[in-house]
Amino acid sequence: MKITIFCIILFIFSFKINAAENYKIGDQLFVASSKGLNLRLSSSLDSKIIKTLVFGSKVEIIDTKISEIPFSLFVDDFWDHKGIELKGFWVKVKSGDSEGYVFDGILTKKKYVEFGVEVNQIKIFGEPKIDTLKKISAPMKNGIKYPYQTIIKTFSNLIEEETFFDGCWNVKQTFRNISFNEVYWLINRDMINADAIQEVKIIRTKNTTIITYYSCT
């Protein structure tokens, strides 16, 4: 039986986040959470819920003035449920015939598919350049060297390295100049129904987010 173990280590460095500056009135964004997003009457978690927008719902930004007041929300960290803090702002949006306020940390610029990591990567970063490096390991305890390979996928703002060896693979994803919130929701899609993934680490800095993990089947 496959066992999934998530052990997330977050190295978080303080830096200013201003998500609302990344878009303008009229921009269309999409709900990123599988649990949906509540459209509220005012910019408060205590405000009346107008309706719940389901995953993938499109909203149009109609006012960003409220973004002068930052807001943060804790979301699932994939392991011990202590949560990861997403920082952002309240923004006023239109969805169909309804208008209200949502937290922009649960919105993304691209509409993700429910399942399909590679599809989401291409939607966001475009087609990658793929390089395969064949290598030989250092001598093992039995004195034998084993062949293995690393596949490097280079996207516009993402470099993904997958090293395959002895039925297992190590993965390192380096995201550059992409907001942590966008990266988080992409990881979130990756982790849905993930099996046999172990030792997930997230290293977060101002302009770069690095995710590493390995998996054995």
Q: Which residues contact 29 (CB under 8 A, 6 or more apart)?
A: 23, 58, 59, 61, 93, 104, 107, 108, 109
The secondary structure element, H or E, covering residue 114 is none
Look up residue 20 and give its amino acid: A
Tokens of 184: 């988080």
Pick from 108, 6, 98: nearest CA to 56: 108
Comparison of pLDDT for 2 and 75, the residue scoring more: 75
Q: How large a percentage of the chain has pLDDT more than 90? A: 28
Comparison of pLDDT for 121 and 28, the residue scoring more: 28
Give, in words, the CATH class of 16-108.
mainly beta
Tokens of 186: 């992409």
Render pLDDT for 47-100 as a digit per residue (tens, 0 to 9).
999 999 999 999 999 987 765 668 888 877 665 566 788 888 899 999 999 999
Q: What is the mean pLDDT of the chain?
A: 78
Residue 6 CA to residue 78 CA, distance in Å, equals 7
Find how far residue 195's CA is from the centre of its chain: 18
Tokens of 105: 């940390």
Comparison of pLDDT for 208 and 124, the residue scoring more: 208
Model pTM?
0.73
Residue 96 CA to residue 99 CA, distance in Å, equals 8
Map residue 67 onto helix, strand or coil: helix
Task: Return the residue matching tokens 């949502």.
Answer: 102
**What residues does each domain of the chain span?**
16-108, 117-216
pLDDT score of 7: 37
Render pLDDT for 145-179 as a digit per residue (tens, 0 to 9).
777 788 999 988 899 998 887 777 888 999 998 88
